[in-house]
Every structure is written in structure tokens, then in C-alpha cells.
Structure 1
Amino acid sequence: MNDDPADARDDAPEPGGIRPPTKDPWKSFRGVLSGLLILEAIVIGLAIPVVATVGGGLTAARGGYVIGLVVLMVLGAGVQGRRWAVKFDLSLQVLVVAGWWVHPAIGVVGLLFATVWGYLLYLSADIRDRERRGLLPGQRG
């Protein structure tokens, strides 16, 4: 039997008796956030023909606003590992809801996705709480 400290397991319990998770729960959560931004970018992009045919039509300002949102969402999907990513995501939601001035359909889509983002914030708090209490599946002994 080898008693070399270098062979000690990395998932040994911490002083409080709670093991660190064997898999990073935040990695998959960041993937969900990124995927949701891409999905929202697709939905907002598909709203361009609606804005063009219904209501006041597609002006340069309206088209630029919608296309700018789509571009920001696609770019935002790639930075979900940053500390400020969730704040960026939520600010995008404010901009989408504010897109009501472009067309009410954009605002309604923004409200629908804002509820999804709210639920994801709830899940984030739940994951953080479970991780702190040692209740994640990778932390169970």
C-alpha cells in the first residue's frame, strides 16, 4: 500500500465534512445560459419579418435595433464563463422588453424570455445552496 500524499484523492471531505463536487455544476449551467441566448437570438431574428410586414414597417432604426440585439445575444453566448455574464444577460433582457417600441411582439417575446431568465436565477440560487450544504450528487459519499 502506498502512503504517498500525492496519491491522496482530491475529493476528500473538507473540514466541515462536505466534499467538493466531482463535476463542476456551473459548467453545465453556463451551457444552459449560452443555449438560451442562442435560442432567444433565433426567436428575435425570426421576428424581423413580423416587424417588416405588420405595423409601421421596418425602418433603419427598428431593423438596427433588432439586428443589434441578435448580434449581442450571439456574442453573449460565448462569454458565459465571465463573472459579468449574468448581468450582461439580464441587461439584454431589459433591452428586449424595451423593444416594445419596435413592435409589441418583440416586447412580448422579451417578457416570455424574462420569465425563463428569472427561473434560471432561481435555479442558480438553488444550485449554490445545495453546493454549500453538500447535497449535489457529486458530493454524496
Structure 2
Amino acid sequence: MAERDEHPETPEEAEAPWEAEPDPNRSGLRDPARAARSLAAVALAFEALALLMAIVPMRMILDEPTPATVAVIVLVIAAVALAGMAKRPWVWPAGAVLQLAVIACWPIHWSLGVAGLIFACVWLYCWHVKRQLALPPKR
């Protein structure tokens, strides 16, 4: 019986969304805040992956790779933890601090600083998307 309620047998029983007036404040997404959180989590996960891939070249290039390896592992743990807590509102500023921390690794090796600048741009874009999704759509 419950299945009959979910899937009407005739078209007359089905809802006609084209007949109702659409909500002008709706973005078209079912949950815009969730979409923004998911984007942030994916960006942080990709950052963690990119930082993990930086460990091997750092160990090959640097004379003393231990500080670089420790710094990268700490940053990876922070990125994964933030990606897992993307539902929390404080993750957005914490993600910006993470980007600054990666940029601050420039003295260890310039490539870490460049990666930090690139991911800072990605984070700014994610923040921009979050703000745009919070606004009512322009029609």
C-alpha cells in the first residue's frame, strides 16, 4: 500500500510540478548548503591527496626530508579531519587557516608554497560558491 502512494498508477494521480508556481527563492538544488559542504569536503580531500603525493619527491629532493615529511603528514591529517567535519560552520575559516599553513611551508620547499597558493585559490572558489548558493537565484 505504501508503494502505491509513492508511485501513482495514473498520470492524474501524479503531482504536476509544471502547474505549480515555482518558488523564486529556490536555487534549483534540493539542499544548497549540503552542496557547498560537499564541495568543501571534496576540495579538502583532494588537497590531502595532493599533499600525500608530495612526500616522495620531498624525500628524494631534500637533504634532510624529515621536517618536510612531518609537516606534510600533519597537514594531511588536518585536511582529512576538516573534510570529515564539513558540516560544522567553523570548517570554512579553519580551511582558510589550513591554506595559510600550507603556504607557510614555503621555506621547507617552494613547491609546498606553490601548492598552498593553488589550493588557497580553490578554497576561495569554494567559499564563493557557498556564498552564491546562499543567495536567492537571479531569474
Band of TM-score, shorter chain: 0.7 to 0.9
- 1:24 is displaced (CA, Å) by 1.3
- Number of matched pairs: 118
- Secondary structure at the aligned position of 1:81 is classed as coil
Map of 1:4 onto structure 2: none
Is residue 51–residue 57 contact of structure 1 (8 Å, CA) maintained in 2? no
How much identity, in percent, do the aligned residues show? 29
Map of 1:80 onto structure 2: 86
Instruction: Give the counterpart letter for 1:101 in structure 2.
Output: P
- Secondary structure at the aligned position of 2:100 is classed as helix
Map of 1:107 onto structure 2: 113
1:44 aligns with 2:55: no
Map of 1:32 onto structure 2: 39
CA distance in 1, matches of 2:70, 2:40: 24
- 1:55 is displaced (CA, Å) by 3.1
Distance 1:19 1:100, change over 3 A: closer
Tell me the alpha carbon deviations over residues 63-91 of structure 1, each in whole angstroms, 9 at most, x when there is no partner: 21110000111111111111101011111
Map of 1:90 onto structure 2: 96
Is residue 32–residue 134 contact of structure 2 (8 Å, CA) maintained in 1? no
CA distance in 2, matches of 1:19, 1:73: 33
Is residue 93–residue 110 contact of structure 1 (8 Å, CA) maintained in 2? yes
- 1:19 is displaced (CA, Å) by 4.9
Instruction: Give the counterpart letter for 2:80 in structure 1.
Output: V
Matches within 5 A, 1:3-14: none
- Secondary structure at the aligned position of 1:114 is classed as helix
Tell me the alpha carbon deviations over residues 78-114 of structure 1, each in whole angstroms, 9 at most, x when there is no partner: 1111110101111100001111122111111111111
Matches within 5 A, 1:46-65: 46-59=53-66, 61-65=67-71
Tell me the alpha carbon deviations over residues 34-60 of structure 1, each in whole angstroms, 9 at most, x when there is no partner: 01111100100100111111133312x
CA distance in 1, matches of 2:25, 2:132: 18
Is there any run of 5+ residues in structure 1 with no aligned partner, and where?
1-12
Aligned CA RMSD, in angstroms, stands at 2.3
> Structure 2-normalised TM-score?
0.75
Runs of 4+ residues over 2 Å off in structure 1? 17-22
